[in-house]
Amino acid sequence: MKQVEFYFDLGSPYSYLGFYQIQKLAVEKNADIIWKPMLLGGVFKATGNSSPLMVPAKAKYSMLDLKRWSKYWDIPVKMNPHFPINTLMLMRLVTAVQLYQPERFIEVTTGLFNAMFCVPRNLNDQQEFIQLTSELGLESEQVQSWLNDEKVKAQLKVVTEEAVECGVFGAPTWFVNDEMFWGIDHLHFVELALSH
């Protein structure tokens, strides 16, 4: 079966849109998605890149661009007023779910993405974060255990380092047969790659 690797961070609104679109595309092309949750901040640090939202002109354009894609794909998107949100705990959580409850990965990741960019919540706030995980059906003690789990920390670090080694500099990034595609505007090329 064909495969597409998806490198993403929950703090990226373009990853949010790409998360939904890659699932549709994978169904259409009968492809498996290999989920690669990474720390975008770590990638930025290693590559010398930065968030477009940190550059005023890019930030202004990105708001317009996100609205266009939201309308085009009919996916609601709202910029989180609490940005920037430190996604370390969020990314540890999705990594933990991927490792320990993989059958719930899509459900939990969907809930976290929606709390970032559909019905935005202040996920910098520890109580808000715990409340959200409870709403997603996760036990608070289990979540706290996962967030401090050395295997989870190591896995997130490995995937982030792997991303940098593969040439990733931003999110979302896809790979099909070792060919890299960055950004949601390149999903049609992902589609073409999965068609061969």
Q: Are the beta carbons of 19 and 113 closer than 8 angstroms?
A: yes
pLDDT digits (tens, 9 = 90+) for 152-191: 999 999 999 999 999 999 999 999 999 999 999 999 999 9
The correct CATH number of 2-195 out of 3.40.50.10490, 3.40.30.10, 1.10.3720.10, 3.40.50.720 is: 3.40.30.10
CA 95 – CA 69 distance, rounded (Å): 27
Please count the other Cβ atoms lying within 10 Å of the Cβ belonging to residue 130: 14
Nearest residue to 35 (alpha-carbon basis) of 149, 162, 150? 162
Task: Identify any residues that bridge with 14 across adjacent strands, giving them in sequence order.
Answer: none
Residue reference for tokens 């939201």: 70
Q: How much is the pTM? A: 0.95
Q: Are the beta carbons of 62 and 53 closer than 8 angstroms?
A: yes
Nearest residue to 129 (alpha-carbon basis) of 89, 78, 79? 89
Kindly list the domain boundaries of the chain, sorted by start residue.
2-195
Q: Are the beta carbons of 17 and 145 closer than 8 angstroms?
A: no
Task: Report, as ranges of residue numbers, the positions in the chain whose pLDDT lies below 70.
Answer: 53
According to the model, what pLDDT value does residue 56 have? Answer: 82
According to the model, what pLDDT value does residue 35 have? Answer: 99
Q: Which pair of tokens denotes residue 136?
A: 């997603």
Residue reference for tokens 């549709």: 24
